[in-house]
């Protein structure tokens, strides 16, 4: 496909993390505009994914790229470099195939490629291969550097565990952890209360009423009150630093996948490396504490009479984007929710159910199901959630939930939904 001088194009820019040496979104778009102007193409749209990793996400899972695909007619997509679109060859080829299906080509400014020609397509695939190799090399260097830092007993950075603080390493470069005099006594009391049988919710309530200082990354609410929650306390009690052990990946953000609390630095005999100066309890006590927490948080571990029933409306319907497994039904503080059994991401059911029902009736209400329209079948189902699930599933091609910001209200951008016969939408 060749574009004429009156061709229409859209611009796309992506950036993972802004750094001194990175090419900003603004600079990427400026280069793309100049390229379009030089070729006599009219720019009909600009789309951005800022703070999004190409290694961790496919183009079709990004808000900006999906908005681009949903835009009106265009003949080409201009990007700054191939790795701005994808760092995996298969992701790149899939994105290019999607553009081809709508008669559009891909053009990269800094890489000498033009996907509107066969030669350009072949060269672009080679660049994508090198981009994937570069990404893997970067990951390998980061893993090696982190492993060496951990081996040296230094702190690799990231979120500092509650009750501790980061100080300059007295024995060399970098930083190390030490107990924080302001918070370590609070942490010790939290551990003591948990070991004597208090629930996580009860401990959170006690901390709030006692005015315990929050973790450094938390902020006080506008009202000025200090509120602890169940998730924060549970996270404190699952950190292996409590037993003086070093997590394999300390500093992992709270919104990331839950890490095995026993994935820690070990010696040549396979035993955990323990820093007694940081330990608040023994390794065996830490293991017992984890068993207690797991027995309380997994609904299946409770007696059937104690379990709270949940609606089957979304049973085995929604999948986790990252883990590709069905989300499970559960409750959190007596509110219905879905959670991923692997990465533990959650989403509340109240707003999600209402959102899905509204879209089902608005977008598929006139479609036929078992001789009735969707609206008629839905009305007949009444309050029977099993029957309502049947109506939803009859129209649903895919429902995937991606991770959101912890504590944020319902965000419809987390919901990746597509109906039968339609492309994925949000």
Residues 137 and 99 in one domain: yes
Among 111, 142, 173, the domain-final residue is 142
Residue 426 counted as domain residue: no
Residues 273 and 324 in one domain: no
Which ranges constitute the DSSP H helices of 152-304? 184-195, 200-210, 230-237, 283-297
Residue 168 counted as domain residue: yes
pLDDT score, position 404: 79
Residues 122 and 220 in one domain: no
pLDDT score, position 265: 73
Range of the domain at 241: 164-297
Residue 38 counted as domain residue: yes
pLDDT score, position 177: 85
To the question of pTM greater than 0.75 for the whole model, the response is no
* Element spanning 126, H or E: helix 118-151
- The total number of structural domains in the chain stands at 3
Among 75, 109, 142, the domain-final residue is 142
Residues 18 and 118 in one domain: yes
Residue 312 counted as domain residue: no
Residues 12 and 63 in one domain: yes
Residue 156 counted as domain residue: no
Q: In 3D, which of 364, 374, 340, 382 has the Cα closest to residue 421?
A: 364
Q: What is the DSSP letter of 400?
A: E
Q: In 3D, which of 401, 405, 404, 406 has the Cα closest to residue 340?
A: 401
pLDDT score, position 78: 93
Q: Tell me the CATH number at 289.
A: 3.90.1750.20
Residues 218 and 292 in one domain: yes
Residues 323 and 275 in one domain: no
pLDDT score, position 8: 92
Pairing between β-strand 76-79 and β-strand 105-108 as defined by DSSP bridges: parallel
List all residues 6 or more positions away from 54 whose beta carbon is below 8 Å from its beta carbon: 14, 16, 83, 84, 85, 86, 87, 88, 91, 135
Residues 240 and 292 in one domain: yes
Residue 404 counted as domain residue: yes
Residue 415 counted as domain residue: yes
The full length of the chain comes to 426
Residues 221 and 328 in one domain: no
d(CA 284, CA 296): 19
d(CA 28, CA 12): 8
Residues 173 and 62 in one domain: no
Residues 138 and 174 in one domain: no
pLDDT tens for the chain, 426 residues: list them.
455 555 899 999 998 865 544 578 999 999 999 999 998 999 999 999 988 888 778 898 999 999 999 988 899 999 998 888 887 777 888 888 888 888 888 888 887 666 656 666 666 666 666 666 766 777 677 677 667 767 777 777 777 889 998 888 888 788 888 899 999 999 999 999 998 888 888 899 999 999 999 887 654 443 445 689 888 899 899 988 898 888 866 544 444 445 567 777 787 788 888 888 888 899 889 988 888 887 765 444 444 444 556 888 998 999 999 899 999 988 877 788 899 988 888 898 989 999 999 999 999 999 998 899 999 999 999 889 999 999 999 999 999 999 876 556 788 889 999 998 875 555
DSSP code per residue over 146-182? HHHHHHTT----SSPPTTEEEEE-TTSSSEEEEE-TT
CB 19 within 8 A of CB 27: no
Residues 130 and 201 in one domain: no
Dihedral pair phi/psi, residue 307, rounded to 5°: -80, 140
Cα torsion angle, 399, 403, 407, 413, sign = negative
d(CA 426, CA 421): 15
Residue 303 counted as domain residue: no
């Amino acid at each position: 496909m060749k574009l004429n001088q009156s061709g229409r194009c859209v611009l796309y820019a992506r950036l993972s993390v802004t750094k001194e040496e990175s090419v900003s979104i603004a600079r990427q778009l400026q280069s793309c505009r100049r390229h379009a102007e030089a070729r006599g193409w009219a720019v009909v749209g600009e789309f951005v994914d800022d703070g999004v990793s190409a290694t961790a996400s496919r183009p079709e899972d990004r808000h900006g790229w999906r908005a681009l695909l949903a835009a009106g007619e265009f003949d080409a997509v201009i990007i700054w470099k191939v790795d701005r679109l994808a760092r995996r060859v298969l992701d790149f080829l899939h994105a290019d195939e999607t553009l081809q299906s709508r008669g559009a080509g891909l053009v990269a400014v800094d890489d000498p490629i033009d996907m509107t020609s066969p030669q350009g397509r072949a060269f672009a695939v080679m660049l994508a291969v090198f981009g994937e190799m570069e990404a893997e090399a970067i990951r390998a260097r980061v893993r090696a550097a982190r492993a060496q830092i951990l081996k040296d007993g230094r702190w690799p950075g990231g979120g500092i565990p509650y009750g501790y603080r980061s100080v300059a390493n007295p024995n060399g470069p970098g930083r190390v952890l030490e107990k924080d005099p302001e918070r370590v006594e609070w942490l010790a009391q939290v551990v003591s209360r948990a070991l004597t049988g208090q629930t996580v919710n009860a401990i959170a309530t006690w901390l709030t009423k006692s005015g315990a200082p929050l973790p450094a990354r938390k902020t006080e609410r506008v009202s000025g009150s200090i509120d602890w929650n169940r998730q924060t306390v549970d996270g404190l009690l699952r950190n292996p630093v409590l037993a003086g052990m070093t997590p394999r990946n300390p500093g992992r953000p709270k919104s990331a996948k839950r890490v095995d609390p026993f994935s820690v630095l070990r010696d040549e005999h396979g035993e955990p490396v323990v820093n007694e100066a940081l330990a608040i309890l023994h390794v065996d006590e830490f293991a017992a504490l984890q068993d207690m927490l797991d027995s309380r948080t997994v609904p299946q571990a409770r007696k059937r009479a104690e379990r709270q029933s949940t609606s089957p409306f979304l049973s085995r319907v929604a999948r986790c984007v990252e883990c590709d497994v069905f989300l499970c039904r559960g409750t959190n503080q007596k509110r219905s929710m879905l959670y991923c059994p692997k990465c533990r991401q959650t989403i509340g059911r109240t707003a999600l159910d209402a959102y899905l029902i509204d879209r089902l009736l608005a977008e598929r209400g006139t479609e036929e199901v078992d001789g009735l329209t969707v609206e008629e079948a839905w009305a007949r189902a009444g309050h029977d959630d099993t029957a309502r699930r049947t109506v939803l599933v009859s129209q649903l091609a895919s429902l995937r939930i991606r991770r959101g910001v912890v504590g944020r209200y319902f965000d419809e951008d987390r919901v990746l939904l597509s109906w039968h016969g339609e492309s994925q939408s949000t």
